[in-house]
A and B are shown apart, each in its own frame.
Chain A
């Protein structure tokens, strides 16, 4: 069964900490995405990548960075976590143009 795996389901971090959210897919998909989901705001795209070592800013990249050193892994980094980054983070992957997305089960991050 093909999958997108996010390393943590729940995470609690302190303000100012550096946070790594890991995402791994086993489908050999070229495209990977990071979204955050907040009540009333829906899903918002943070960053995406169409190839290894490539990254593009989404709609809300401020306060985040990403890393894609291998095709199957796409990491989201919060350099200095803040309370307004408390959210559900969803990773997704897709193949080619217009391919359907496969989502991970999400990481609920709480910054205290």
Chain B
């Protein structure tokens, strides 16, 4: 069975520090998708990135970067030079066919 683990329940960092959110997944499938979503205090989940299982190219988008490593079944998310507005709950999501699995989320506090 598939599983998504976000071991960090809650993280606090001081503004301008870099922070990495970990995501480890379990699957025997060879074709699947992975996502990261952000849920700010307003409650709406915001799509950040999608990766399919055949695309291990890491990506940088502004202050955000993602490190997908199939060999270790990890899809980690890094925020560089964090800002208070980055404070939110971040979810890692696995999707294959009808199976959609959310991690429990990591609550990130950016302290001014």
* Interface residue ranges, A against B (CB under 8 Å): 33, 40-43, 45, 48, 56, 88, 90, 92, 97-98, 100-106, 108
How many inter-chain contacts with C-beta < 8 Å in the A-B complex? 42
Would B44 and A105 count as touching, CB distance under 8 A?
yes
Would A43 and B43 count as touching, CB distance under 8 A?
no
Please list the 9 inter-chain residue pairs (A to B) with the smallest Cβ-Cβ separation, ordered nearest first: A103-B45, A98-B33, A105-B44, A43-B102, A42-B104, A106-B43, A100-B47, A100-B50, A42-B102
Chain A residue numbers with a CB within 8 Å of B45 are: 90, 92, 101, 103
Cα(A103)–Cα(B52), bound, Å: 20
- The minimal Cβ–Cβ distance linking B4 to chain A, given in whole angstroms, is 9
Cα(A89)–Cα(B110), bound, Å: 27
A101 and B47 contact, Cβ closer than 8 Å, known pairs A33-B100, A42-B102:
yes
